[in-house]
Amino acid sequence: MAFIEWVMQGTEVSHCNCNIGCPCQFNSLPTHGHCRAYMFMQIDRGHFGEVTLDGVRWGGLFAWPGPIHLGNGTAMVVVDRNASDAQRTAIETIASGKETDPGTLITQIFSTTLSKVLPTQVKSLEFTIDMQKRTARVHVDGLVDGSAECIRNPVTGQPHPVSVKLPQGFEYTEADFLIGSARSAGPIELDFNDTHAHIAKVHWSTHGVVR
């Protein structure tokens, strides 16, 4: 049976509880032995079958009791309240790893590590990324508040830009690494202070990361 063809292009921010750089990006174990994170995205252009995804904002909160690859994780999808029912269903499908070639994309790979998926939250989602200034801001009313900025030199206080390329990465090909803080309310607790974050332009599809 053929998959539904879908694609999305836009910008994303990911933010976790690891030290700056995040060992997971380099196939190492998480800083504190477990992982908690959020990811949010602004879709500039996209579709899921016949459903347009242009302008949709969405994301998720995640928690694993150990390294991600050992599983038993919990996830909760968040979709902006301006999305239509059809768009929300499309995002839920993609976020759950369905209609995607196995092993090709972060959503599909992470879906295999989850033991609990909480009900989708439909909320007002404020989201800004400035790729030039290397800043990001996320606010979901009553759920999560996070911000990130360019890493700074600890002596001079001047910006210390860091970009990382993953030519075969399943999330992005190139990302800017940042430092950030965040707090959440609800079933997935996030309490980040000067921890790793990254922003990237992404191009995802049924068949994985488009390069």
Q: What is the mean pLDDT of residues 130-142?
A: 96
Please check the confidence at residue 23 and state whether its pLDDT lies above 70. Answer: yes
pLDDT for res 186: 83
pLDDT at res. 181? 98
Alpha helices (runs of H) in 33-158, residue ranges in sequence order: 85-95, 106-111
Q: What is the mean pLDDT of the chain?
A: 97
pLDDT per position as a tens digit, 29-65? 999 999 999 999 999 999 999 999 999 999 999 999 9
Is residue 98 within 8 A of residue 110, CB to CB? The reply is no
Residue 11's nearest CA partner among 37, 38, 39, 36 is 39
Q: Could you read off the pLDDT of 159-186 as tens digits, one per residue?
A: 999 999 999 999 999 999 999 999 999 8
- The pTM for the full model equals 0.96
198 HSE (CA, 13 A, CB side):
23
3-class state of residue 109 by DSSP: helix
pLDDT at 1 over 70: no
Query: Which CA distances in Å does 95 have to 20, 48, 185, 188, 208?
Result: 26, 12, 21, 17, 13
Query: H/E element holding 57?
Result: strand 57-64
Identity of residue 89: T
- pLDDT of 187 reads 93
Q: What is the pLDDT of residue 64?
A: 98
Q: In a 10 Å sphere around its CB, with 0-12 CB exposed, 13-18 middle and 19+ buried, how is residue 46 labelled?
A: buried
Residues β-bridged to residue 77: 60
pLDDT band at 119 (very low <50, low <70, confident <90, very high): very high
Q: Tell which residue, 106, 87, 88, has the closest CA to residue 169.
A: 106
Reading the block at residue 157, the tokens are 């206080």
- The encoded tokens of residue 89 equal 């269903």
Confidence of residue 150 (pLDDT cuts 50, 70, 90): very high
Given a cut of 90, whether residue 208 has pLDDT beyond it is yes
